Structure 1
Amino acid sequence: MTETFLAQDTATGSPVRLQAVAGPGQPEVTPALEELYRGFERELLVPLWTEIGDLMPAHPRSRAVPHVWRWQTLRQLAARAGDLVPVGRGGERRAIALANPSLGGRPFATPTLWAAIQYLMPGEDAPEHRHTQHAFRFVVEGSGVWTVVGGDPVPMNRGDFLPQAGWNWHAHHNATSEPMAWIDGLDIPFQHATEAQFFEFGRDGIGDAERVTPRRSRSERLWGHPGLRPLAATPAPYGSPLLSYKWEHTEAALRDQLRLEREGFGGTVEPGHAAVRYTSPHDGSDVLPTVRAEFHRVARGVETAPVRETGSSVYQVFDGSGVVTIGDASWTVTRGDLFAVPSWQPFTARSEAGATDSDGGALDLFRFSDAPVFEALGLHRTRKDT
């Protein structure tokens, strides 16, 4: 075989280094072959026969690894940052990103997905800005912060999912006397890799008309009615026009699925496993062009079937406890913990939720993934292992 190196060759100035090694299906190592490879190096050329095993493997080999981040630890560190790190122009947000241990220290949970805990102190504002990265907020605990998107104040409460398509102005304000933390999800790594990102500063502060605390945002009043599409409304060109998906509706859908199953009418993805996908009320598509969001409820004692998917995902435990297995690794997880599932790694979850660690006696999991990207490119595959 032939090995390719990308270290700079000080003699030729080329970053390409080729070393001929004898092996099945490889050319015979001769002085002529060595001379040919030196010519490739000078012209910045890499032959396929030296790279096919890495470029075209039999199945995805993710650069990311499975990993768990503990919510209690994240929460404690975020609270310390609240005392030490200001929110304002420059840092913009007190957001602390998850860094997958195999991605070289980059602030990426997976090669395509960003996840972070954001923390806002009492009375604080996070200044207005906008970016092409598609984003969402998911609240695992607390209330009292309003995110202001395009001038529309949107309340954030436990269990709420708040998507926000790219290039929308947005700021946050904490109207209470308590700090609040939530998770942010964005497609930052994907846009960074494709060199497509833009960012723009907005106003340093929001106006008095936006510093209000309505129970429902204007987007909810217009778009938040199940099965009903407002004829007068013109939705954004991409992304959901609904800025908040309330926990009460998510929880009711999951509860009803499991009740229907017990009554013998089906409705779950597998026995004891209820699931929903957040979609746009405009056309039923994913809430964001590059991010899919779902919520899964696994009844106590149930273990989900192993599933592999192309693309990666990040989960947060919303409620309950259980054991998650990703590839060869297994962890016990509880409320707030986050974990990454790399591409084509088999994933299972076993619910061990009880009365002391859950409200509903189930393992509740919020999930987001890069599935819309892979589906749009015809690269999405799913396989259930038996």
Structure 2
Amino acid sequence: MTQTSTPDIVTGSPVRLEAVSAPGQPEVTPALEELYRGFEKELLVPLWTEIGDLMPAHPRSRAVPHVWRWEQLRRLADRAGHLVPVGRGGERRAIALANPSLGGRPFATPTLWAAIQYLMPGEDAPEHRHTQHAFRFVVEGEGVWTVVGGDPVAMRRGDFLPQAGWNWHAHHNATAEPMAWIDGLDIPLQYVTEAQFFEFGRDEISDAERITPERSRAERLWGHPGLRPVSAGRTTAPGSPLLAYRWEHTDRALADQLAVEAEGFGGTVEPGHAAVRFTDPATGADVLPTIRAEMHRVVRGAETAPVRETGSSVYQVFDGSGTVTVGEKSWSVTRGDLFVVPSWQPFSVRSEAGASDSDSGALDLFRFSDTPVFEALRLDRTHVEGTTR
């Protein structure tokens, strides 16, 4: 049984049903054909013709595994920096990853947006706000400050900078060099749920916001491990109040996990595989309501067990090199490369990093996913190959 969305020239209906002889389907008769014409006229689709697509035995993502090379992204972003203005209209010089199976939409997965953003020396990205939850992750360079709610926040290599929806934000490059980073947002999720709002802010930020402090106000209040400012009381706004998670702290946490493992006390996800999750210091929950962010470190020669998860992920290689396998695809990856893991596709990685291509001597991977959405809906499921979970 097939159903298409092309309007029927006779009935004008977008529903078109075809009776076919197949196991589990009713016998094809003139009466059945007449019934289907009635369904088409009234814009009805019987479940027995669609159950294979609507209720498959396991997730079948519309996205496919794919890799984008940082060298090519950086080169094209630099060309765009010399050709495309960053003011009102385009609003941001952000170039989105388009999954090859999603019809040319600027979506990395059905729920996640990923883009390289590029700011030229002395440029400002004007202020705006939107309901989409967002973050910035820096794989190289420094010199740009993001100004969130009037708070200037430095962006440097390895830093993760979350920003919950509906917060005013702008960027400015205070140096004589261009800078690139990746943006992650839940644009596709809010697009498909028809929940998005957007509003322009000021064309220019104030001189007071153009300063370049070593630490933002958010960091001075919230950036102390295990310590919560009493003045904050009960926080009700979604998302983390800490606007920057610095690489020095992430790096130390990963190194300490591996050191504890080497001493025989565990502490890692699996042998040679350390991982941390960025969390909201006020609640301990994910930094953003719809996005989970993590950093993984895999020591040279270690290989992770293949894992399947509902929901999709985007990874960026922060440092080192290795071989990534997603479903039936395998790639060699190196610093800056980005790749997609669609829902329920098995994913594993083998680290080939060393002192020549990694500061830590290991393969460091930044990951963001839509897991909080699946957990909230009780649709999250994980299977690690070789285990019962």
Determine if the TM-score, normalized by the shorter chain, exceeds 0.5: yes
Q: Deviations over 1:332-353 (max 9, x none)?
A: 0000000000000000010000
Quote the Cα distance in structure 1 between the aligned partners of 2:196 and 2:370. 17
What is aligned with 1:78?
Answer: 77
| Partner AA of 1:103 in structure 2 | L
| Partner AA of 1:91 in structure 2 | G
Shift of 1:385: 1.3
Extract unaligned runs of 5+ from structure 1.
none
Quote the Cα distance in structure 1 between the aligned partners of 2:101 and 2:283. 38
| Partner AA of 1:302 in structure 2 | A
Residue correspondence of structure 1 range 32-43 to structure 2 within 5 A? 32-43=31-42
What is aligned with 1:88?
Answer: 87
Greater CA deviation, 231-240 or 155-164? Answer: 231-240
Query: Are 2:336 and 1:336 equivalent residues in the alignment?
Result: yes
What is aligned with 2:215?
Answer: 216
| Partner AA of 1:24 in structure 2 | P
| Partner AA of 1:121 in structure 2 | M
What is aligned with 2:302?
Answer: 302
Shift of 1:230: 0.6
| Partner AA of 1:40 in structure 2 | F
Q: Deviations over 1:185-230 (max 9, x none)?
A: 0000000000000000000000000000001000000000000011
Quote the Cα distance in structure 2 between the aligned partners of 1:294 and 1:354. 22
What is aligned with 1:262?
Answer: 262
- SS at 2:18 equivalent: strand
Quote the Cα distance in structure 2 between the aligned partners of 1:237 and 1:220. 17
Query: Are 2:52 and 1:67 equivalent residues in the alignment?
Result: no
Quote the Cα distance in structure 2 between the aligned partners of 1:141 and 1:25. 56
- SS at 2:257 equivalent: helix
| Partner AA of 1:313 in structure 2 | S
Residue correspondence of structure 1 range 143-292 to structure 2 within 5 A? 143-234=142-233, 235-292=235-292
Quote the Cα distance in structure 2 between the aligned partners of 1:310 and 1:45. 30
Shift of 1:25: 1.3
- SS at 1:167 equivalent: coil
| Partner AA of 1:193 in structure 2 | V
| Partner AA of 1:28 in structure 2 | E
What is aligned with 1:368?
Answer: 368
Shift of 1:24: 1.2
What is aligned with 1:21?
Answer: 20
What is aligned with 1:347?
Answer: 347
Quote the Cα distance in structure 1 between the aligned partners of 2:36 and 2:360. 64
Q: Deviations over 1:169-200 (max 9, x none)?
A: 00000000000000000000000000000000
Percent sequence identity over aligned pairs = 82
Q: Deviations over 1:81-102 (max 9, x none)?
A: 0000001000000000000000
Q: Deviations over 1:137-175 (max 9, x none)?
A: 000000000000000000000000000000000000000
Shift of 1:3: 1.2
| Partner AA of 1:124 in structure 2 | E
Shift of 1:355: 1.6
Runs of 4+ in 1 over 2 A off after TM superposition: none
Quote the Cα distance in structure 2 between the aligned partners of 1:101 and 1:330. 16
- SS at 2:139 equivalent: coil
Greater CA deviation, 71-80 or 353-362? Answer: 353-362
- SS at 2:208 equivalent: coil
TM-score normalized by structure 2?
A: 0.98
Shift of 1:237: 1.6
- SS at 2:308 equivalent: strand
Query: Are 2:316 and 1:316 equivalent residues in the alignment?
Result: yes
| Partner AA of 1:61 in structure 2 | R
Quote the Cα distance in structure 2 between the aligned partners of 1:260 and 1:287. 26
Shift of 1:8: 1.1
Quote the Cα distance in structure 1 between the aligned partners of 2:354 and 2:275. 20
Extract unaligned runs of 5+ from structure 2.
none
- SS at 2:232 equivalent: coil
- SS at 1:72 equivalent: helix
| Partner AA of 1:29 in structure 2 | V
Shift of 1:11: 1.2
Quote the Cα distance in structure 1 between the aligned partners of 2:72 and 2:10. 49
Quote the Cα distance in structure 1 between the aligned partners of 2:75 and 2:236. 38
- SS at 1:330 equivalent: strand
| Partner AA of 1:288 in structure 2 | L
What is aligned with 1:385?
Answer: 385
| Partner AA of 2:193 in structure 1 | T
What is aligned with 2:30?
Answer: 31
1:349/1:176 CA distance change after superposition, 3 Å = same
What is aligned with 2:113?
Answer: 114
Quote the Cα distance in structure 2 between the aligned partners of 1:204 and 1:253. 40
Shift of 1:236: 4.8
Residue correspondence of structure 1 range 3-22 to structure 2 within 5 A? 3-22=2-21
| Partner AA of 2:284 in structure 1 | G
| Partner AA of 1:345 in structure 2 | Q
TM-score normalized by structure 1?
A: 0.99
